[in-house]
Amino acid sequence: MDLVLIEALKVDTVIGVYDWERTLTQTLVLDLELATDLRPAAADDDIAQTLDYAAISERIARFGAEHSFELVETFAERLVDALRQEYGIAWIRLTLRKPGAVPAANAVGVRIERGERSAT
């Protein structure tokens, strides 16, 4: 299975369950693995035949600006839903970290995988 990678993408958003968190923007850090067949794009050297990691990174930044969830779970699930629908991605693994949320930890967060992994 081929993958397009986006690592340590910083996304600003309003997120959190506590009252003080509803009044400010925090930065989440995302790692994404996006399954796609890279061979057609490589054969034709054509960005239109692959997942454009720059365009997807911009879409994720817009998603963060447009939403204000309480839970990181909700952010992760809704984002992956949107990306799968808009880009027709068969399988995604998203790791989302919320640095600073637990001072004793480097980061806390969630990891989800959605869709079917192809054998190739």
Ligand X SMILES: Nc1nc2c(c(=O)[nH]1)N=C([C@H](O)[C@@H](O)CO)CN2
Set 75, 83, 98, 109: catalytic member: 98
The binder of ligand X chosen from 5, 8, 18, 88 (CB under 6 A): 18
Instruction: Show contacts with ligand X in window 51-110 (CB under 6 A).
Output: 71-73, 98, 101
Q: What is the full DSSP assignment across 27-77?
A: EEEEEEEEE---HHHHHHT-GGGS--HHHHHHHHHHHHHH---S-HHHHHH
The binder of ligand X chosen from 4, 11, 13, 16 (CB under 6 A): 16
* 10 counts as catalytic: no
- The torsion defined by the Cα of 14, 17, 22 and 25, in degrees rounded to 10, comes to -30
* Catalytic residue numbers, as ranges: 98
Write out the residues near ligand X by the rule CB under 6 A: 16-18, 21, 71-73, 98, 101
